Amino acid sequence: MGARKEFAAMLERLETTGSAVERNRRWYAIGFTDWRVGQLQRLDSGDALVRSGARGEPGYFVRGRDLKDARDGDTVLIRPNRSRRAQQKAGDLPHATLVKVLDRKVRSVVGTLEERERRRWLIPFDAKLSLDLIVDGDDLGARDGDFVVVDILDQSRPGGGPWRGRVREVLGDLETPGVDVKVVLRHFEIPENFPDSVLQASSGLPADPEPEDWADRSDFRDDIVITIDGKTARDFDDAISVRKRDRGGYHLAVHIADVSHYVEEGSVLDLEAYRRGTSVYFPERAVPMLPENLSNGLCSLRPDVPRLTLSALLEIAEDGKIVKRRFVESVIRSRRRMTYSEVRRVIEEPAAEDAAEYGEVLPMLRTAHELMKIRYRARVARGSIDFDLPQGNVILDTDGVTVGVHGADRTVAHRMIEEFMIAANEAVSAELAGHEMPALHRVHDSPARDDLFELRTVLKGFGIELSGELDNLHPQALQRVLKQVEGRPEEPFVSTLVLRSLKQALYAPEARGHYALAARYYAHFTSPIRRYPDLLVHRQLKALASGQTPADDQTAVAERVSGIGERCSFTERRAERAERIILQWKLVRLLADRVGEAFDGRVTGIQPFGLFVQLVEFYVDGLVPVRTLGDDYYVFDEAQHTLTGRDKGRVFRLGDPVRVVLSEVDSRRRSLNLLVEGMAEPEPRPRRRTGRRPEGRRSRTRRPGR
């Protein structure tokens, strides 16, 4: 009996590692089948990618309906769908069907408790997760409707029945301020509290640098250096200084907090920063990458105190080109902490008393404004795409409850800092690549032909031409599109369309360039307090400045850097999704008491099941179900992205303005249902008793050529 158990355990290990699999009471060696093993990555659409191969590149696409109960991060067995593969358009991933989940990454699920049939069930927070889970045993006093974290007790689920789990943590009721953030943090497994070892290590650091710390550094404490950040900024890791050169052109100094001086590679602080990857910012709080005494204290470039920095010293010609670059370890003392709104006012609405208030800072700001305009013109001339998308920021009361929303303006001050940080990032990447120093570069690859073809098709509906060869489209072509809609009502929507057609930027050891910026070299250098890649870039830049040469074993170093890049790309995407969900959730809940009211909206998406409409005032999307369009029978055209009334000919297109009524708010699913104002819903039709399918008002999908 012992031998049989040992043999069964061995087979289970083989299945977990993807070497063998049991199907219909038979075992197969996967290497001798056409099946593939990989890690599942769920997409926001509900579909998924399966990452396979030595470097974990996306290899297959699995539709949401084929995922069964597979969850993000699971190791899965898939069968490539050959009939579909032949139909794939160039550049698409081959489709596959999920055969079996081999190993569960997720051992717990976040959701709400609901009592049914004298049992307590978990309703997953992730609406795309199809999971029947009974909560057993002690529920730690959780009430119906409370958000909880449930540990899954049996990953194998014998007999195919419901999952079973036990409450590990009660997060609370959604109406309690702060619970929504806790839910999102637990759902994405974002670390919230620092381990004791990390806090102990950070507490051993000084409150301020000592004079011996800057003994061998370039001393810029007497220079006119300032920081410019948002009014509610929580950390200040970049400062600037600008002056004109005697021989023409400008000298730009970008000073960045020298976090690497305090966070040594391999230390507990470093390992924790790597685990987190990035800081995460929510409206009411931040989850920092580093402990607060570092992020808001020792490494924050506060005014009137010395701070250790790594400085990019750039000589910029009158045409905006960087003609000389140098990088030094330094010490600064910021003269003033300025906000974006303050700088905008000083530049665009100067007052007589400004000279007395700002002293030497005032002429420096004017010089910086000159340089910003020069750098911006040079960047646009080379083809860089400048997105100016509308964004909403929620307004919270003293209890953390959302009470309003306001647009986030992008001012001349924002553009100033953007241009200077881009200049520094480009220079650092070029320096490291020029010396073949292994480093993480910020890579933005060219868009796929199919995505550009779809964009071209949609833009035709707006009378906009996307000209150029799609297989090698220069970013200037997209820049021209944005120029055509500048100032028009559809500008925000077209900008979003263009952005969606681009690939997602990532971190990689190769300097492959940044498509949207039309930059040959680009790296992240300017935020080591909140981004781990910047911390790594700082270390490599300092090693290069000290005379260190690239390691002999370039392959091993590149593989290590590549692995770090994969991890940092993942944590960045995780943070972005968490921040986006919280913002959506807060905006949806803000509208809970406004059911029945009408709002101006714009169509942002069209599917066979309805229209996605963004409420202009609130920057949040809702759905107009196609079944509610009662004035006609609407036909969905996939190629043109339209819904067209068959009899009356009314057409809904992407970007169309539309007046809608809020009909339903689902706070738990973070969704809004809308109705087109003035359009009566169709009356329910009686069921037919024949075997024929009733003719309802569902949209039909019409494909070109059919």
Question: Is 645 in contact with 634 (CB distance < 8 Å)?
Answer: yes
pLDDT for 446: 95
Could you tell me the two tokens for 204? 């051993």
Residue 671, phi-psi category: left (phi > 0), alpha (psi -120 to 50), beta (remainder): beta
Question: Is 515 in contact with 447 (CB distance < 8 Å)?
Answer: yes
Q: Does domain 2-103 have CATH number 2.40.50.140?
A: yes
Could you tell me the two tokens for 672? 């809004």
Could you tell me the two tokens for 416? 């100033």
Pick out the chain residues at pLDDT < 50. Answer: 84-91, 689-706
Cα dist from 570 to 47, 417, 506, whole Å: 17, 26, 9
Nearest-angstrom CA–CA distance, 53 and 43: 20
Q: Does domain 108-173 have CATH number 3.40.228.10?
A: no
pLDDT for 80: 86
Nearest-angstrom CA–CA distance, 288 and 528: 11
Give 1-53 as a 3 state SS string: CHHHHHHHHHHHHHHHCCCEEEECCEEEEHHHCCCEEEEEEECCCCCEEEEEC
CATH superfamily assigned to domain 592-702: Nucleic acid-binding proteins (2.40.50.140)
Same CATH fold, 592-702 and 2-103? yes
Domain positions in the chain are: 2-103, 108-173, 196-445+503-585, 592-702
> Residue 324 half-sphere exposure, CB side, CA atoms within 13 Å?
10
Q: Give the amino acid at 408.
A: A
**Tens of pLDDT, residues 80-94:** 886 544 344 434 678
pLDDT for 266: 92
Nearest-angstrom CA–CA distance, 139 and 153: 14
Nearest-angstrom CA–CA distance, 455 and 446: 14
Entry field: residues in the chain: 706
Question: Is 526 in contact with 538 (CB distance < 8 Å)?
Answer: no
pLDDT for 672: 95
**Tens of pLDDT, residues 174-218:** 989 999 999 999 999 999 999 999 999 999 999 999 999 988 899
